[in-house]
Amino acid sequence: MQQELHALREEALQALERAQTSADLAAWRSTYLGKKGKLSQVLRGMGNLSPEERPIVGRLANDIKETLEQAYTERAEAVRQAELAAHLAADAVDVTLPGRRPPLGRLHPSTQVMREIERIFADLGFQVYASREVELDEYNFQLLNIPPHHPAREMQDTFYIERSPDENDVLLRTHTSPGQIHAMREFAAMNPDNPPPVRIMLPGMVYRHEQITPRSDIQFQQVEGLAIGHHITMADLKGTIEYFVRRLFGPERRLRFRASYFPFTEPSAEVDMDCLLCGGEGCRLCKGTGWLEIMGCGMVHPTVLRNGGYDPERYTGYAFGMGPARITMLKYGIEDIRYFWQNDLRFLEQF
User: In the complex with ligand 2NL, which residue's Cβ is closer, 24 or 236?
Assistant: 236
Burial class for 112, CB neighbours closer than 10 Å (0-12, 13-18, 19+)? middle
Number of Cα atoms under 13 Å in the Cβ half of residue 266: 10
User: In the complex with ligand 2NL, which residue's Cβ is closer, 187 or 262?
Assistant: 262
Max Cα separation, the chain?
Answer: 134
Burial class for 141, CB neighbours closer than 10 Å (0-12, 13-18, 19+)? buried
Contact call for residues 206 and 220 (beta carbons, < 8 A):
yes
At 171 the three-state DSSP class reads strand
CB of 180 to ligand 2NL, least distance (A): 3
> Alpha carbon 189 to chain centroid distance?
37
Considering only residues 197 through 226, tell me which ones interact with ligand 2NL, judged by CB under 6 A.
222, 224, 226
* DSSP string of 138-169, one letter each residue: HHHTGGGT--TT-GGGGGS---EEE--TTS--
User: In the complex with ligand 2NL, which residue's Cβ is closer, 195 or 321?
Assistant: 321
CB of 333 to ligand 2NL, least distance (A): 20
> Residue 158 interacts with ligand 2NL (CB under 6 A)?
no
CB of 110 to ligand 2NL, least distance (A): 13
Nearest residue to ligand 2NL by CB is: 321
The vertex-214 CA angle with 152 and 284, nearest 5°, equals: 100
Burial class for 325, CB neighbours closer than 10 Å (0-12, 13-18, 19+)? buried
Whole-number Å distance between alpha carbons of 134 and 339: 24
CB of 150 to ligand 2NL, least distance (A): 15
Considering only residues 270 through 299, tell me which ones interact with ligand 2NL, judged by CB under 6 A.
295-298
C-alpha to C-alpha distances, 56 to 45, 52, 118, 169, nearest whole angstrom: 14, 8, 101, 113
**What is the total count of residues that contact ligand 2NL (CB under 6 A)?**
20
Whether 266 has a binding-site annotation, put simply, is yes
User: In the complex with ligand 2NL, which residue's Cβ is closer, 64 or 305?
Assistant: 305
CB of 160 to ligand 2NL, least distance (A): 21
> Alpha carbon 143 to chain centroid distance?
36
**Which stretches of the chain are assigned E, i.e. beta strand?**
127-128, 134-136, 160-162, 170-172, 198-207, 219-229, 255-262, 265-274, 291-300, 316-322
User: In the complex with ligand 2NL, which residue's Cβ is closer, 61 or 265?
Assistant: 265
Considering only residues 162 through 201, tell me which ones interact with ligand 2NL, judged by CB under 6 A.
177, 180-181
User: In the complex with ligand 2NL, which residue's Cβ is closer, 25 or 222?
Assistant: 222
> Residue 264 interacts with ligand 2NL (CB under 6 A)?
yes
> Residue 325 interacts with ligand 2NL (CB under 6 A)?
no
CB of 331 to ligand 2NL, least distance (A): 16
User: In the complex with ligand 2NL, which residue's Cβ is closer, 14 or 211?
Assistant: 211
> Which amino acid is located at 250 in the chain?
G
CB of 267 to ligand 2NL, least distance (A): 11
Site string for ligand 2NL, 117-156 (x = CB under 6 A): ----------------------------------------
Whole-number Å distance between alpha carbons of 83 and 104: 41
CB of 131 to ligand 2NL, least distance (A): 11
The annotated binding site for Mg(2+) is made up of 266
Binding site for ligand 2NL (CB under 6 A): 177, 180-181, 222, 224, 226, 262, 264-265, 295-298, 300, 304, 319-323
